[in-house]
Amino acid sequence: MASSTTGSPTARPVFVVTGPSGAGKGTLIQLVLPRFPELAPAVSATTREQRPGEEDGVHYWFLDRDEFDRRVDAGEFLEYVDFVGNRYGTLRSEIDRLRESGKAPLLELETEGAKRVKRRVEGAVTVFVTAPVDELERRLRDRATESSGVIDDRLSVARKQLDEVGDFDYVVENDDRTRAAAALAAIVAEHLGSPATMARP
């Protein structure tokens, strides 16, 4: 029997926010989520090391490589990618759970994963968040959660990802956080068919 993640005519849309590391995807999502009660984040799974302040099941499902691979073999992932030495993926059960509760799932994914969701999920809306490469580098180095070598790897990948911008439904330039959040909120409102609530200052 096919998974319900393929969607139905009455299913809520699935929103996918993607873009290079340092583009500010997570920040924009946190600004937009409170404006839409019907919007809910889907928690991705990853094999990368848990960072200070991150909670299992809230920021990610943190899995070791063997457990991640077991779930891949069992067909439990809608999409998964290898990125800078780690694996990231979206469990089908996350999307099904949110849609069945009447929520519109919101995913933050790497570009390859976002493209796979776009192909596989009816009603997927993909948004590419971008910023100039020099700004991406500044943000990554200011974040200081990874070694210089890993940051260099992420910047190399980011340059390639910026060439993929035409593969997605919308592009949001995050050169100003307030303006970019408003642009993302307008996209969400259009596809949900309901206006956003007033953003708090």
Of 84 and 46, which is predicted with more confidence? Answer: 46
Beta bridge partners of 17: 108, 127
Q: Say how far residue 188 (Cα) sits from the centre of its chain.
A: 14
* DSSP code at position 158: H
Does some domain include residue 124? yes
Mean predicted confidence (pLDDT) in 50-68: 94
Does some domain include residue 91? yes
Does some domain include residue 1? no
Cα three-residue angle 61-63-64, rounded to 5 degrees? 165
User: What is the percentage of the chain residues whose pLDDT exceeds 90?
Assistant: 57
Residue 147, SS3?
Answer: coil
Cα three-residue angle 73-117-180, rounded to 5 degrees? 135
Does some domain include residue 141? yes
Mean predicted confidence (pLDDT) in 2-7: 47
Q: Are 155 and 113 in contact (CB under 8 A)?
A: no
Q: What is the predicted pLDDT for the residue at 9?
A: 41
User: What is the percentage of the chain residues whose pLDDT exceeds 70?
Assistant: 89
Give the lowest-confidence range in 21-25, 97-101, 139-143, 190-194.
139-143
Model pTM score: 0.77
Angle of helix 25-32 relative to helix 177-192, nearest 10 degrees, comes to: 60
Does some domain include residue 179? yes
